[in-house]
């Protein structure tokens, strides 16, 4: 199972490194083609009356921050998976691939896919609210590719932590939800900006620093693990938080730069920009 976890984490890291390379390559090609596009637009001006809805959607999308553009697809995927849980005939498939379970014959994909899976509408709403609140700051600090690598890696690591805890305590059961990945993002932001003031939605008069918040959350989940609480998957939360903290301390400096050999190899396979 540990090998499966390492394989899954490695796949997310490699995929995001290649994505960053492709984004940079696409940007370079677009810059080279800009003069051609300019003259083409001038020639076609007034002839193409494409539908206004498409233009409005494009205008709205371009007005979003990079963090919001990353949050949008993640939120949409979570909503689609939530909708799939509402279809009874899909339940066997969803249980096999969108819920992590140490007793399942499928171990690799559920570690990742379960982090996009919610059965409860309230669980989905709460997780997406927290992710939306912290994604902009995290993407600004990390960039969209490194953010995605952290988010997906934390999903795998939190699932593995949950597996390990259930096996240790002999408590089989299903786990699903984006909480592990979101805990990593939350922990990263709190570590990077510990003096940022946070608050509670229903109690806006209560504020506390981000550094205090992450200490309290980690302490609460550690107590949940030690005392065997079952209200949340506290082990998965701890796994996600540990990933975010480690990434803030070491990942950006020591792990992400190691993508260079991957990018160089991909560049050779794909071919140089032409």
Catalytic residue among 237, 264, 267, 272: 237
Q: Which helix (H) or strand (E) holds 197?
A: strand 197-200
104 a catalytic residue: no
**177-195 burial, b for 16+ CB within 10 Å, e for fewer?**
bbbbbbbbbbbbbbbbbee
Catalytic residue among 8, 135, 179, 181: 179
Q: What is the full DSSP assignment across 28-55?
A: HHHHHHHHHHHHHHHHHTTT----HHHH
133 a catalytic residue: no
Sign of CA dihedral 124, 130, 160, 146: positive
**For residues 69 and 63, what is the distance between their CA atoms, to the nearest angstrom?**
10
Alpha helices in the chain (DSSP H): 2-44, 52-63, 66-85, 91-97, 108-113, 121-142, 144-169, 179-192, 210-227, 234-246, 260-270
**For residues 259 and 263, what is the distance between their CA atoms, to the nearest angstrom?**
6
Catalytic residues: 179, 237
């Amino acid at each position: 199972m540990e090998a499966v976890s390492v394989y899954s984490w490695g796949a997310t890291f490699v995929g995001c490194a290649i994505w960053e390379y492709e984004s940079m390559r696409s940007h370079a090609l677009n810059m080279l083609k800009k003069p051609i596009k300019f003259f083409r637009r001038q020639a076609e001006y007034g002839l193409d009356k494409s539908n206004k809805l498409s233009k409005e959607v494009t205008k709205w999308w371009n007005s979003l921050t990079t963090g919001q553009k990353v949050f949008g697809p993640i939120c949409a995927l979570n909503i689609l998976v939530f909708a799939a849980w509402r279809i009874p005939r899909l339940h066997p498939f969803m249980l096999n691939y969108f819920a992590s379970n140490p007793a399942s014959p499928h171990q690799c994909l559920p570690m990742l896919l379960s982090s996009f899976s919610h059965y409860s509408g309230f669980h989905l709403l709460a997780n997406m609210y927290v992710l939306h609140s912290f994604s902009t700051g995290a993407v600004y600090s990390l960039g969209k590719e490194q953010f995605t690598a952290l988010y997906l890696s934390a999903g795998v690591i939190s699932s593995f932590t949950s597996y390990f805890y259930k096996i240790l305590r002999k408590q089989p059961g299903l786990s699903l939800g984006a909480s592990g990945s979101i805990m990593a993002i939350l922990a990263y932001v709190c570590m990077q900006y510990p003096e940022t003031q946070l608050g509670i939605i229903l109690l806006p008069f209560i504020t506390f620093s981000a550094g205090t918040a992450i200490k309290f959350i980690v302490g609460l989940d550690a107590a949940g693990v030690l005392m065997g609480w079952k209200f949340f998957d506290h082990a998965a939360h701890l796994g996600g938080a540990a990933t975010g903290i480690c990434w803030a301390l070491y990942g950006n400096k020591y792990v992400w730069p190691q993508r260079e050999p991957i990018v160089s190899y991909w560049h050779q396979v794909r071919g140089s920009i032409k």
